[in-house]
Amino acid sequence: MRRTRPACASARLSHPDSTNGSHESGRSIWMGCFLGTGLGVPGLPYRFAFDTITGKRMTSAPNNEKKTWMKRVVVSGSAGFLGSHLCERLHGMGVEVIGVDNLLTGHMENLSSLIGKEGFTFLHHNVVNYLHISGEVDAVLHFASAASPPDYMDHPIQTLKVGAHGTVNMLGVAKAKGARFLMASTSEVYGDPQISPQPEEYWGHVNPIGVRSVYDEAKRYAEAACMAYHRTHGLDVRIARIFNCYGPRLRRDGRVVPAFLHQALMGNNITVFGDGTQTRSFCYVDDLIDGLLGFLHCDYVGPVNVGNPEEYTVLELAKIIVELTDSVSEVVYRDLPADDPKQRCPDISKAKSLFGWEPNVDLRDGLTTTLQWFRAEFGRELSELDQRVALQRKGQ
């Protein structure tokens, strides 16, 4: 028999299964239970808890007091940046987690806090191929996909396949288990947007044959597949459109935050593409996971934007990073890559009204924490470089 899960007051579209949980039962499970936290990040405070019925913020409580209707979940892309944070958070909430990854762009070190622990299983598997999971599953969270432009341009066919076949396979797992399905979509479905901020109703401005199209169109296909399973089979899907996220464990994979952090720490030139006036928004990973879990526990199919609506130009980001790292680096300009979006800023009014979520971590605070992780991660490389930078400074 299926386990019940709660509906939320803002329900619009619901899976037949979710009628098992009345608002009252949903409330009794959730009141005071879902907490936004600064999980594992020194210096970042616990932030909020909210009542999923009223959407009102409540007082903070420690992370380990969180409860959820989910008992067992599957997370694809679990060895990646977001997947590993998600697995850790869910495991910390007492949920049994089955992580699936083929390690295309992910690393087992990202899961070092979970490997060997009770309640966590890792499956080395390419989700483009059929996947069987035995036993009950309450939710399938599909995060497998190369995500940074250099990664998906290096693996264009794998990216198309994981967005298409991989999504359909994971939807199949959710269907077989009667589980809720959350898909990690992206702001890239808006392409190079002609309006800003981007609301979910905007259909986007995507070059279907450009170099970035393997990612953008794969995610657009994946969204279409989610809706087809929802409309045809009544599958309980959630489509989260994730905007730029940063934090510890972000590899140097070409994304702007780790690229600038590394260049600044090494005392190298900071490479800004174009004139640096293109905008991006940056959401700290703990905030993002709060938002995704809020959405997962809300009875709304989506799509819902999850990201930080504070917009910065790329040049502003470079200057903040130079300041935080006290770096001698200078900004140099390079040609803008093909189809690089000129602006990127989420309209998060839906997330706010549906599940009372908005990000809380200030960019400088989040970057400072990320910087600590970078320093620890690239310690030796950096200490050699520190000496070089110190010598450069002396020579000034």
Contact positions toward ligand NAD, by CB under 6 A? 76-77, 79-83, 100-106, 126-128, 143-147, 151, 162, 166, 184, 186, 242, 244-245
CA dist 268 and 66 (Å) reads 43
Dihedral sign for Cα atoms in the order 62, 68, 74, 75:
negative
Closest separation between CB of residue 244 and ligand NAD, Å? 5
Closest separation between CB of residue 35 and ligand NAD, Å? 22
Phi-psi region of 302 (alpha: psi -120 to 50; beta: other; left: phi over 0): left
Pick 126 or 213: Cβ nearer ligand NAD: 126
Closest separation between CB of residue 334 and ligand NAD, Å? 22
Closest separation between CB of residue 57 and ligand NAD, Å? 25
Pick 80 or 267: Cβ nearer ligand NAD: 80
Residue 239 pairs in a beta bridge with 183
Q: How far apart are the first and last CA of the chain?
A: 72
Q: Which residue from 70, 22, 19, 11 is spatially nearest to 301, judged by alpha carbons?
A: 11
Closest separation between CB of residue 8 and ligand NAD, Å? 24
Paired tokens of 39: 């999980």
Closest separation between CB of residue 360 and ligand NAD, Å? 17
Pick 248 or 267: Cβ nearer ligand NAD: 248
Closest separation between CB of residue 150 and ligand NAD, Å? 11
Pick 18 or 279: Cβ nearer ligand NAD: 279
Closest separation between CB of residue 204 and ligand NAD, Å? 14
CA dist 59 and 193 (Å) reads 38
Active site residues: 215
Pick 66 or 142: Cβ nearer ligand NAD: 142
Pick 30 or 243: Cβ nearer ligand NAD: 243
Pick 50 or 122: Cβ nearer ligand NAD: 122
> Helix/strand/coil (H, E, C) string of the chain?
CCCCCECCCCCCCCCHHHHHECHHHHHHHHCCCEEECCCCCCCCCCCEEECCCCCCEECCCCHHHCCCCCCEEEEECCCCHHHHHHHHHHHHCCCEEEEEECCCCCCHHHHCCCCCCCCEEEEECCCCCCCCCCCCCCEEEECCCCCCHHHHHHCHHHHHHHHHHHHHHHHHHHHHHCCEEEEEEEHHHHECCCCCCECCCCCCECCCCCCCHHHHHHHHHHHHHHHHHHHHHCCCEEEEEECCEECCCCCCCCCHHHHHHHHHHHCCCEEEECCCCCEEECEEHHHHHHHHHHHHCCCCCCCEEECCCCEEEHHHHHHHHHHHHCCCCCEEEECCCCCCCCCCCECCHHHHHHHCCCCCCCHHHHHHHHHHHHHHHCHHHHHHHHHHHHHHHHCC
Pick 33 or 100: Cβ nearer ligand NAD: 100
